Amino acid sequence: MGKQPNLFSFELKKLTKLLRQYIVKIQHESFARYKDDKDKVFKVGVSGGSLPKILAQALLAPSEGPDDVIEFEKWEIFFADERAVKLDHEDSNYRLLKEELLNKIQDKQPKVHTIDESLLDNTGELAAEYAEQLVSVFARRDSVKTPTFDLLLLGCGPDGHTCSLFPGHDLLRETENWVYPIEDSPKPPARRITLSLPVVNHAHRICFVATGAGKKEVLSSVFEGGVHGDEAKGLPIALINEAAGDRVSWFVYEEAVQGVRYPRRGSL
């Protein structure tokens, strides 16, 4: 059996503090892959939902020393999934990230890759154009076959979905493209684009952030195989845990894993 995902569970304040330390650590690890300072870039994918707010609490906190620095100007941010709406629409993940985080960054801004609003009528074209944006950043250095994000920051739904990859959906079997359209998302709005499962699994690090007692049932089935046993097996979050092993870290508000016996990590 491969190495297991890391589970951190704390109350919110401690959780955001540790999440910040984790992101800073992964940022340093990523920079260390470059010889030249001027080439350093941190390639990050983010989801919507409750994540941007928690992320902002972690990333906008005051620095605790010279090593505790978020170098936003070296970040390239992509959306792990995005809704097919205008960028200023209330359903837009970009708008959410902008309001929660980007607008509040004091220093230089990260480079943020948004969807092309002129293609909203055709989700296939929207996904293909977004994949082209990934090619422009990833294909130069990494294997062209699958892009390698330095870090994916993802949420998870009570049904075990992540990004816009939903349980039992045909998209889970797609391996050809980097980004896919979805027209029948069970979580509204229905029309979206999402990174493919192989792209998620291929990231250097995958970080799930989950809050809320509503996720207790699905997390207990994924982490314990317990009450629901095999039911968890095909769930998107379980597939990622299985494929990426200890490259996955879960930062979970403790009420979401209450009673789950899976071993917690106390520090990074």
Closest C-alpha to 127, from 116, 136, 135, 138: 116
Identity of the residue, 41 or 165, whose beta carbon is nearer to ligand 6PG in the bound complex:
165
Identity of the residue, 75 or 79, whose beta carbon is nearer to ligand 6PG in the bound complex:
79
Selected from 5, 45, 48, 52, the binder of ligand 6PG by CB under 6 A is 48
Selected from 5, 45, 110, 157, the binder of ligand 6PG by CB under 6 A is 157
C-alpha gyration radius of the chain = 18
Rounded Cα–Cα distance for residues 82 and 114 (Å): 9
Selected from 58, 102, 163, 257, the binder of ligand 6PG by CB under 6 A is 163
Closest C-alpha to 163, from 141, 204, 184, 192: 192
Rounded Cα–Cα distance for residues 118 and 125 (Å): 10
The reply on whether position 172 binds ligand 6PG by CB under 6 A is: no
Rounded Cα–Cα distance for residues 9 and 43 (Å): 26
Provide the 10 A C-beta neighbour count for residue 229: 10
Selected from 6, 30, 114, 162, the binder of ligand 6PG by CB under 6 A is 162
Closest distance of CB 95 from ligand 6PG, Å: 11
The reply on whether position 45 binds ligand 6PG by CB under 6 A is: no
Identity of the residue, 18 or 256, whose beta carbon is nearer to ligand 6PG in the bound complex:
256
C-alpha 259, offset from chain centre: 25
Which residues contribute to the site for ligand 6PG (CB under 6 A)? 47-51, 81, 93, 155-157, 161-163, 187
